[in-house]
Amino acid sequence: MQDYPMYIGGESMAAAAGRWMDSENPFSGEVWARVARGDAQDASRAVEVAHQAFAEGPWRDLTPSARGLLLHKLGDLILRDARKLAEAEVRDSGRLIADMVPQVTYLAQAFHYFGGLCDKIEGAVIPLDRKGYFNFTRHEPVGVVAALTPWNAPLLVTCMMIAPALCAGCTVVLKPSEFSSVSTLAFAKLFEEAGFPPGVVNVVTGYGAEVGAALVAHPRVRAIAFTGSDATGRHLAQQAARDFKRVVLELGGKSPNIVFDDADLDAAANGAATAILNVSGQSCVAGTRLLVQESVYDRFMDKLLSVARMPRMGDPMDASTSLGPLSTRPQYDKVLGYIDTARAEGAKLLLGGSAATRPECGKGWFIEPTVFEVRNDMRIAQEEVFGPVLSVIRFRDEAHALAIANDVRFGLAAGVWTQDFARAMRMAETLQAGSVWINCYRQVSFLSPFGGYKDSGMGRENGPDAVKEYLQVKSVWMNTGAPVPNPYAPR
């Protein structure tokens, strides 16, 4: 059992009140680490340190190119430590080692890409409507950013938030989920080694109501980056509005994945199975609502169900495991509750429908891949389950598919499987989602914007748009020869 203190001002430290919280391993179900349980006092200390680093230098005084080099160096260190960081996340969150090593390796790209953007944040010279003045714009960092992350993908979400914020010149206080703080704390150590000045990136661990709320309310925090549930996001946005703080919200999803009768059905079956089963369904972009055209329904569902029976459950640290446990005990209970609700609503069970009790699952929080045929007005088709549970709906034609796909309050992502180019373009234009994937699923890159429509959030991560979330524009006027008369002189 290991202790994981917080990281503030470049130093590891216990919580001011000396409290700790347990972290459980989702495969063994046992406590494997203790993480510092901070409170408002720790949150305030971290924000003050981050504010000082922002306002007084040396971070503030670095040239953008020098700042970019620090981000680049951090990316190199991530590549060096990818295996170690991946293992921390596997133990803490039950993610698969087979997925995490490539994912952490890819995270280096966030810092290489945004490091390269640091010295390309350009203002403009405005061609004015008057003589005798010169006017230009500067894009300046907003200040301290509070970054609040969920338990399902701690390192990925952390990097999506902080790489653009650091690129803009902000400083950051991170608050990982109380369920999965360890990988973020291991990652934070790399900032010092990369040469970041103390206080530029800080990590305060603890519960949302104790640490997260204090960060959001702190007057020196100027922007809030939040990834998590829409309920918490709505609450935080209301809090932030009181003090006119920026918010970037990446919330949940209930994404449609649409299979037309002209699709390559084998590719679509593979794509639909991974769209729901990747990360055991605990993915904001999971393709949870599978819409299948009536004319190929039986043929397609045979293919899909045979792919969905294939994942190998077991120890997430074993490279051959392809379906892991749910990350937290409450989430495991919640998903089983949704399976009961679906049955009670009259959904037709096609696969799974229970906890997995195979010997290789040990005491882990595993659930069998589960597939229901449903109506779109059922709760199982409308609410975010966040588990390996797929809702399948039949449709007649393109208009019918579109109506069902958009009839949900979320709008994070959508998939379309068709060989008809014109139809693909029509769907890409009319689906209400921040990402649309044609004949593929779950493609996300640090180079391309990512975010939600409707209740799935506001603001964008990834790509140059992400940096703008953390910048404010200043207009500078210089008199280059305009007279400045005494306004009170007699005329």
Catalogue the active-site residues.
Answer: 250, 284
Q: Establish if 149 lies at the interface with ligand NAD (CB under 6 A).
A: yes
> Within 10 A of 81 (CB to CB), how many other CB atoms are there?
18
Segment interacting with ligand NAD (CB under 6 A) among 83-91, 104-112, 231-239, 355-363: 231-239
> Within 10 A of 9 (CB to CB), how many other CB atoms are there?
17
Q: Residue 349 belongs to what H/E stretch?
A: strand 348-351
**Spatial contact of 25 and 365, defined as CB atoms under 8 Å apart:** no
Segment interacting with ligand NAD (CB under 6 A) among 74-82, 124-132, 144-152, 357-365: 144-152
**Spatial contact of 288 and 319, defined as CB atoms under 8 Å apart:** no
Strands 471-479 and 133-141: antiparallel
93: its two tokens: 């969150």
Segment interacting with ligand NAD (CB under 6 A) among 44-52, 87-95, 222-230, 387-395: 222-230
Q: Establish if 178 lies at the interface with ligand NAD (CB under 6 A).
A: yes
Binding mask 377-396 for ligand NAD (x = CB under 6 A): -------x-x----------
Of positions 216, 290, 385, 466, contacts ligand NAD by CB under 6 A: 216
> Within 10 A of 350 (CB to CB), how many other CB atoms are there?
16
Of positions 68, 164, 197, 228, contacts ligand NAD by CB under 6 A: 228
Q: Establish if 343 lies at the interface with ligand NAD (CB under 6 A).
A: no
Of positions 25, 93, 152, 280, contacts ligand NAD by CB under 6 A: 152
In angstroms, the Cα distances linking 463 to 21, 75, 184, 245, 445 are 36, 17, 22, 22, 8
Task: Give CA–CA dist 160/66, Å, rounded.
Answer: 21
Segment interacting with ligand NAD (CB under 6 A) among 23-31, 194-202, 245-253, 313-321: 245-253
Segment interacting with ligand NAD (CB under 6 A) among 46-54, 201-209, 260-268, 478-486: 201-209
Binding mask 432-471 for ligand NAD (x = CB under 6 A): --------------------x----x--------------
123: its two tokens: 């203002």
Of positions 25, 103, 158, 177, contacts ligand NAD by CB under 6 A: 177
Task: Give CA–CA dist 410/58, Å, rounded.
Answer: 42
Of positions 12, 44, 135, 232, contacts ligand NAD by CB under 6 A: 232
Task: Give CA–CA dist 422/432, Å, rounded.
Answer: 18
Query: By C-beta, is 143 or 253 nearer to ligand NAD?
Result: 253
Strands 171-175 and 201-203: parallel
Q: Establish if 251 lies at the interface with ligand NAD (CB under 6 A).
A: yes
Task: Give CA–CA dist 232/229, Å, rounded.
Answer: 6
> Within 10 A of 131 (CB to CB), how many other CB atoms are there?
8
Of positions 88, 161, 182, 213, contacts ligand NAD by CB under 6 A: 213
> Which class for 300: exposed (0-12), middle (13-18), buried (19 or more C-beta within 10 A)?
buried
Task: Give CA–CA dist 491/487, Å, rounded.
Answer: 9
Query: By C-beta, is 121 or 236 nearer to ligand NAD?
Result: 236
First vs last C-alpha separation in the chain: 85
Binding to ligand NAD in span 406-425, by CB under 6 A: 412
Q: Establish if 250 lies at the interface with ligand NAD (CB under 6 A).
A: yes
Q: Please, which residues bridge with residue 477 across strands?
A: 135
Query: By C-beta, is 85 or 213 nearer to ligand NAD?
Result: 213
Binding to ligand NAD in span 3-42, by CB under 6 A: none
Q: Which residues bind ligand NAD (CB under 6 A)?
A: 148-153, 157, 175, 177-178, 207-209, 212-213, 216, 227-229, 232, 235-236, 250-253, 284, 384, 386, 412, 452, 457
